[in-house]
Amino acid sequence: MIKKLIPFIAGILVLAGCASPNAAIKDDALQAGFRYSSYGPSYNPGAEYWPSAGERMAAKFPGSQPAALWIVSIVDGDGTYLNTSCETDDPYIHCGYVDMNDDILRTFDEKGYAVWLQVEPRNASVDELIYIVLGKYKHHPSVVGFGIDVEWYKSTDGPEGQPITDEEATRWVQAIRKHNPDYQLFLKHWDENWMPPTVRDGIMFVNDSQQFESFDQLVAEFTVWGQKFSPSPVGFQFGYPADRPWWQELQDPPKDIGQAILDNVPNTKGLYWVDFTLLDVFPPEQ
C-alpha cells in the first residue's frame, strides 16, 4: 500500500448559496464528484463553483449522480474544529461561531447531489460528532451519509490513525441510522488493515492512496481494494499533486482514471477528484 501524503494547511472557506431542497437521491447510481476541504484549494472561486465542478465530473460518467465528500471538521490540535456552531461537553470538539455548510447544502439539494459529511476526529468522540453533524444537517435531502477519515482517528504523531474495530463500526452505523435508516457510513484510508475486520453492512470503503509511480499502479492497487471489500460499495479519491507527473499526460485525467477504475472494480460506488488540484482540472467558468 502507498502511504498518503497530507498537505495540511489550516483555513476556513466561506460559502454562500440559496436554494430549496427538492433533490431525489438515486441509491443505485454511481456517484461522481469531488472531495472538499477548507484547506485543499488554493483559493475560493465562489459558492457557484462547487456545484458546477461536481456536475462537470459527473457528466464524464453518463447516468452518474454529482457528489461531494464534504469535510465539516478538520484536525485542530488533539481534537477537531467543526465549522458550525454547536454545544458539546467534549473538550476535543471545538465549535465554530458561524454555520458554513447550510447554504451550500441547499444548493446541493436543488441540484440533486449526493453529499457525505466527513470529519477528521482525532481524539474527539465520533459518536458525538455524528449526533451534532447529522442532527444539524439531516433535513437536507442531498445528505446521504457520514464519513470518517481514519488516518485522523485517534492519531497522535501524524496522519495514520487507529484501525477501526468491528464494534466501533457497528455502533457508528447504528448511530447514523437513528437519524435516517437509509444513511450509510464511509470509512477512508489507504490501508485495508485499518478497516473493520468483518463488519460490512452499511459501509462504503474509500481508498485515498497516492504517490503512485504510474497510472497502471493506481489501477492495480485500487482493484485489490475493490476485491477486498466486494460486494460492499467502495469509493476512490484521486488526482493528488504527488501523482500529477503521470496523470497530467492523460487526455482527460478525471475520465480516464475513473473509467479505468470502473472497468476493473465493479463494486465502485464513488469517484472523487481531490480539491488540491480540482481548480486545475475543472477551472472556474468565466
Cell numbers describing residue 10: 489550516
CATH for 89: 3.20.20
pLDDT for residue 24: 40
Q: Does residue 10 fall inside a structural domain? A: no
Neighbouring residues of 63: CB distance < 8 A, sequence distance ≥ 6 = 29, 30
Q: Does residue 272 fall inside a structural domain? A: yes
Q: Does residue 37 fall inside a structural domain? A: yes
pLDDT for residue 28: 81
Q: Does residue 140 fall inside a structural domain? A: yes
Q: Does residue 22 fall inside a structural domain? A: no
Give the Cα separation of 233 and 43 in Å (integer).
32
Cell numbers describing residue 154: 485517534
Q: Does residue 15 fall inside a structural domain? A: no
Give yes or no for a contact between 236 and 224, defined as CB atoms under 8 angstroms apart. Answer: no
Q: Does residue 1 fall inside a structural domain? A: no
pLDDT for residue 8: 35
Which portions of the chain are predicted below pLDDT 70?
1-27, 286
Terminal Cα distance for the chain, rounded: 40
**How many structural domains are present in the chain?**
1
Q: 3-state DSSP call for residue 12?
A: coil
Give the Cα separation of 73 and 62 in Å (integer).
32
Number of other residues whose CB lies within 10 A of the CB of residue 213: 11
Cell numbers describing residue 103: 447554504
Give the Cα separation of 196 and 205 in Å (integer).
10
pLDDT for residue 26: 55
As a three-state string, the secondary structure of 100-142 is CCHHHHHHHHHCCCEEEEEECCECCCHHHHHHHHHHHHCCCCC
Q: What is the DSSP letter of 4?
A: P
Give the Cα separation of 57 and 78 in Å (integer).
35
Q: Please tell me the pTM assigned to this model.
A: 0.91
For residue 174, give the nearest of 115, 122, 116, 134 by alpha carbon: 134
Give yes or no for a contact between 176 and 138, defined as CB atoms under 8 angstroms apart. Answer: no
Q: Does residue 179 fall inside a structural domain? A: yes
Beta-strand relationship, 79-82 and 143-149: unpaired
Q: Which domain holds residue 83?
A: 31-281
Neighbouring residues of 102: CB distance < 8 A, sequence distance ≥ 6 = 84, 137, 140
For residue 156, give the nearest of 73, 96, 75, 82 by alpha carbon: 75
Consecutive H or E run containing 144? strand 143-149
